Amino acid sequence: MRSIEQLTEEILSLPSELRALLADKLVESLEFSADSAIQAAWVTEAQRRREEVRNSSVEAISGEEALAQVRRMIES
């Protein structure tokens, strides 16, 4: 059996589209104790945002850049 480090290395070498698909499947496999209506709303929102990135109607930015933008907005 491969270690988590080996799996992580292998997974991170996949193209981003496949990593996103795997991330979706992993999140779906988790059991949440949240209200099912809330969970369904978040799933719908996540799918909508994923589609926006996939069809290039929005441009993805790194988390680091997103935080920098928020900091600039707060400081203004």
What backbone torsions phi and psi does residue 30 show, to the nearest 5 degrees?
Answer: -80, 145
Can you tell me the mean pLDDT for 50-75? Answer: 92
Joined together, the tokens standing for residue 16 give 């981003």
pLDDT digits (tens, 9 = 90+) for 6-15: 999 999 999 9
pLDDT, tens digit, 9 for 90 and up, residues 4-49 = 999 999 999 999 999 999 998 998 888 766 688 888 899 999 999 9
Q: Alpha-carbon dihedral of residues 60, 62, 65, 69, nearest 10 degrees?
A: 50
